[in-house]
Amino acid sequence: METLFYIADLFGVAVFAITGALMAGRKSMDLFGVLVIAIVTALGGGTLRDLILDNHPVSWIRDDTYLIVCTLAAVGTVLWVRVTRPIHETGLLVSDAFGLAVFTVIGTEVALQHQVPVSTALIMGVMTGVAGGVIRDVVCNEIPLIFQKEIYATACLVGSLVFVILRQLGTPHWVDTGVAMLVVLLIRLAAIRWHLGLPRFHLLDRDIP
């Protein structure tokens, strides 16, 4: 179970690193920039969570597998695009949803281990899932997409809440983990499939004179 989860975590890291590398490519960055954006996207959310929770050592500090996976994913993305050209977008979105599910559950669990209130645990679940992507967009000078497009962070929030509830009901570890991940995955895939978005808040100039 532990091993399975570790592998799922590394898979999430790889997928997030790929989305980072692609965004760097859209900004025509050089290879080092591609690597940095890949690492920041993949490890940024977990790092921020660990810093705020004072959860040291930060995961990737002691285990260099994370940095190696990021590097391979970044290099692989560049080679793939150079050689094969088109990216399979649906495949990427589904993989990203899976990574989001893993990260959300890990983040919520780490927070719960620190005996924080439920609201903090939810925030940490969401933060672990989305902060890396937000930092990626900010460094690349874009308004974070996740605050504007289809449901994304909301999937983390619901999944994180399901995890907290199941954990308090005392279900076996594989049940709460599995169900919470499935919830994130299904909400996110439904949002992609039917372009579901939250209502948006438009503030016009006349609203604030």
Q: According to CB under 8 A, which one of 51, 72, 175, 182 is a site residue for a second copy? A: 51
CA distance 72 to 68: 6
Q: According to CB under 8 A, which one of 33, 76, 94, 179 is a site residue for a second copy? A: 33
Look up residue 200 and give its two tokens. Answer: 């948006």
Q: Cα–Cα–Cα angle for 160, 161, 163, nearest 5°?
A: 65
142 in contact with a second copy (CB under 8 A): yes
At 150 the three-state DSSP class reads strand
Look up residue 80 and give its two tokens. Answer: 């793939």
Look up residue 102 and give its two tokens. Answer: 């893993």
Scanning residues 98 to 137, which ones bind a second copy (CB under 8 A)? Answer: 114, 116-120, 123, 134
Dihedral of CA atoms 70, 75, 80, 83 in degrees, nearest 10, equals 180
31 in contact with a second copy (CB under 8 A): yes
CA distance 80 to 91: 14
Q: Which is nearer to a second copy, 3 or 119 (CB)?
A: 119
83 in contact with a second copy (CB under 8 A): no
Report DSSP letters for 101-146, one per residue: HHHHHHHHHHHHHTT--HHHHHHHHHHHHHHHHHHHHHHTT---GG
157 in contact with a second copy (CB under 8 A): yes
Q: According to CB under 8 A, which one of 14, 24, 110, 185 is a site residue for a second copy? A: 24
Look up residue 128 and give its two tokens. Answer: 């672990």
Q: Which is nearer to a second copy, 136 or 177 (CB)?
A: 136
Number of residues that bind a second copy (CB under 8 A): 70
Residues that bind a second copy (CB under 8 A): 21-22, 24-34, 36-37, 39, 47, 51-54, 56-58, 60-64, 67-68, 78, 81, 85-87, 89, 114, 116-120, 123, 134, 138-144, 146-148, 152-154, 157, 197-203, 206-209
